[in-house]
């Protein structure tokens, strides 16, 4: 086993992809080793703990008593949440709306002041991390707890609305989407008087702790305010330079995994594609553009270790943007060390090469490709952050695709955010962003109780930042530039790739398992070789695999 680390501290825009990768990205995740369901990893499960990928005790089994204590605390916390909501409604029932209690949420730390010690970084133990990441039952129980509390809250809200609202209450409902669109038009026209009046109206009805639409409006109004003031860059720079901790990333990931199937399915698609390709190979080289914490790869390493005939020699080249500060490659290097320890435990020959630099500056020789390797290029949801030809004629997006084509990989696995909100025209972009994020906020509203602190973490530190960038920033400062899967299909073919057929076994398994485990409104479909994921008929993410055309 060897570990090679290199970096280049050179970035014109320090990306917030550490947080953004959780959701749309919600993406570099350890889902392949979670046993939900078992067939996705052959009934085995090993996941990272806080100090490394395995517990210090060296055991692959979960401490049952620790697991019970965790679940007991989790369920007690959920019960406390419901009792708190009921008390607030009973105390403020005349208004039919619970008080937001903004002081309960500390966004600097990303958690509620009243949050259980289970998720307090200073008190959490490696065993507790094992419980969250190793035990499939904890995810299943969290799913059930989320749905039960969501149903109770819906019933409680319905009863209150029925007792105080009636037809009069329905007439007073504010159409926040219309107000936001009118405000965006006023901002675009630089009609400051109308824009300020509309901003005032929207703020009266938006609430970061309210329902899905109120929460969405809260972040969109922040973006409109920043654009009107011309302070877009200043508004998101403090977030860019303040990285999300691994513990906060883990908290948000755990909640997202229980709430929706997007992460599990994405990693299953990629890892199964690689396993099919590497069935009989001796040397496997994976180049991962946007590796982040590398949570996708423990499951693959584990599966390779049990391969008939023994594991191949595995080399992973982890690529990410440099982080601010004196150690721009620190996160990528730490990822490499954790994966190396994990590979050592499972006796998989392993080499890691870390690259932290602007992707469009990478040369073929930087990737240390050797003869006899089966080469896989993997990129999950991150190409959208590269500038396109509307900003730079010789765009970084095309440069990276051309680099991948020159590498001549055996397979190029691509996952994208299916979005049309990258248009240079502000009003068009605003409307498309409103459609896209309305879908995501509605998904969370349906599947996660409003009072769960980790939901606020997802909405503020991930979706909220993206919304700010889309609305308030222009030119090179706007790095949220997704395209639809049909646009990516044209772009990839133009770059010299041929799309591979969608694996029918992967598609069949995904539909059967996830439709049984998650809400009926989640969409898993296929179109023209793409595996599509979405909510209530709207496609949010898409996955595909490619090979060089010649």
- The reported pLDDT for the residue numbered 156 is 67
- pTM, 2 dp: 0.76
pLDDT tens per residue across span 416-437 = 999 999 999 999 999 999 999 9
At 55 the pLDDT is: 32
Q: Is residue 373 part of a domain?
A: no
Are 300 and 312 spatial neighbours (Cβ–Cβ below 8 Å)? no
DSSP character string of 239-300: HHTSPPPHHHHHHHHHHHHHH-SHHHHHHHHHHHHHHHHTSS-SEEEEEEET-TT-TTHHHH
The answer to whether position 35 is within a domain reads no
Residue 505, in any domain of the structure: no
Rounded CA separation 322/329 (Å): 6
Instruction: Report the domain count for the chain.
Output: 1
Residues linked to residue 374 through DSSP beta bridges, in sequence order: 284
Q: What is the pLDDT of residue 6?
A: 45
For residue 385, what pLDDT is reported?
A: 95
Range of the domain at 136: 64-153
Q: Are 331 and 28 in contact (CB under 8 A)?
A: no
Is 159 within a domain? no
Tens digits of per-residue pLDDT, 149-174?
A: 777 766 666 544 433 333 333 434 67
Q: Residue 368 corresponds to which tokens in the numbers above?
A: 């240390």
pLDDT at position 136 is 55
Query: Within the chain, which residues score under 50 in pLDDT?
Result: 6-20, 23-68, 70-71, 74-75, 78-79, 81-135, 159-172, 236, 238-241
**How do strand 522-527 and strand 313-320 relate by DSSP bridges?**
unpaired
Residue environment code for 518-529, b if the CB has 16+ CB neighbours within 10 A, otherwise e: bbeebebebeeb
Q: Which 3 state secondary structure label does DSSP give 451?
A: coil
CA–CA gap between residue 258 and residue 370 (Å, rounded): 40
Q: Is residue 90 part of a domain?
A: yes
Predicted pLDDT of residue 12: 40
- Length reported for the chain: 550
CA pair distance 414, 380, nearest whole angstrom: 6
Q: Specify the pLDDT at position 34.
A: 27
87 located within any domain: yes
Residue 523, in any domain of the structure: no
Q: Determine, yes or no, domain membership for 99.
A: yes
């Amino acid at each position: 086993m060897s570990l090679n680390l290199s970096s280049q501290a050179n970035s014109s825009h320090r990306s917030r992809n550490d947080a953004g990768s959780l959701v749309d990205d919600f993406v570099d995740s350890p889902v392949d080793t979670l046993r939900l369901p078992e067939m996705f990893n052959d009934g085995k499960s090993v996941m990272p703990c806080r100090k490394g990928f395995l517990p210090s005790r060296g055991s692959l089994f979960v401490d049952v008593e620790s697991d019970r204590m965790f679940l007991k605390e989790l369920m007690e916390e959920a019960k406390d949440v419901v009792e708190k909501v009921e008390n607030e409604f009973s105390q403020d029932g005349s208004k039919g709306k619970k008080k937001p209690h903004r002081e309960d949420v500390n966004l600097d730390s990303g958690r509620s002041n009243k949050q259980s010690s289970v998720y307090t970084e200073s008190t959490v133990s490696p065993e507790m991390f094992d419980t969250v990441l190793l035990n499939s039952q904890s995810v299943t129980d969290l799913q059930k707890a989320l749905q039960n509390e969501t149903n109770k809250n819906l019933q409680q809200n319905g009863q209150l609305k029925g007792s105080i609202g009636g037809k009069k209450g329905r007439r007073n409902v504010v159409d926040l989407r219309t107000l936001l669109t009118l405000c965006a038009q006023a901002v675009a026209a630089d009609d400051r008087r109308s824009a300020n009046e509309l901003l005032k109206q929207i703020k009266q009805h938006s609430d970061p702790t309210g329902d899905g639409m109120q929460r969405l409006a809260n972040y969109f109004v922040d973006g409109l305010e920043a654009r009107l003031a011309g302070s877009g860059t200043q508004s998101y720079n403090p977030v860019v330079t303040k990285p999300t901790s691994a513990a906060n990333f883990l908290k948000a990931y755990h909640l997202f995994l229980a709430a929706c199937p997007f992460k599990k399915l994405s990693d299953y698609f990629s890892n199964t594609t690689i396993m099919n390709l590497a069935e009989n190979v001796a040397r496997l080289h994976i180049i991962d553009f946007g590796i982040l914490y590398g949570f996708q790869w423990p499951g693959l390493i584990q599966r390779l270790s049990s391969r008939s005939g023994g594991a191949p020699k595995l080399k992973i080249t982890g690529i990410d943007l440099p982080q601010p500060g004196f150690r721009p490659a620190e996160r990528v290097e730490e990822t490499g060390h954790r994966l190396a320890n994990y590979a050592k435990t499972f006796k998989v020959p392993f080499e890691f090469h870390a690259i932290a630099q602007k992707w469009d500056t990478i040369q073929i020789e930087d990737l240390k490709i050797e003869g006899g390797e089966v080469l896989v290029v993997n990129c999950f949801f991150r190409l959208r952050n590269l500038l396109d030809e509307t900003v730079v004629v010789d765009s970084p997006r095309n440069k990276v695709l051309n680099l991948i084509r020159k590498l001549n990989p055996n397979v190029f696995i691509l996952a994208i955010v299916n979005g049309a909100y990258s248009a240079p025209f502000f009003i068009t972009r605003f409307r498309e962003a409103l459609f896209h994020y309305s879908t995501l906020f509605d998904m969370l509203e349906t599947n996660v109780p409003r009072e769960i602190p980790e939901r606020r973490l997802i909405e503020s530190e991930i979706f909220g930042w993206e919304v700010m960038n889309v609305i308030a920033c222009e030119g090179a400062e706007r790095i949220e530039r997704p395209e639809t899967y049909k646009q990516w299909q044209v772009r990839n073919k133009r770059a010299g790739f041929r799309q591979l057929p969608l694996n029918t076994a992967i598609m069949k398994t995904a539909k059967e398992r996830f439709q049984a485990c998650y809400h009926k409104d989640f969409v898993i479909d296929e179109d023209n070789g793409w595996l599509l994921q979405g909510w209530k008929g709207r496609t949010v993410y898409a996955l595909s695999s490619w090979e060089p055309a010649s």
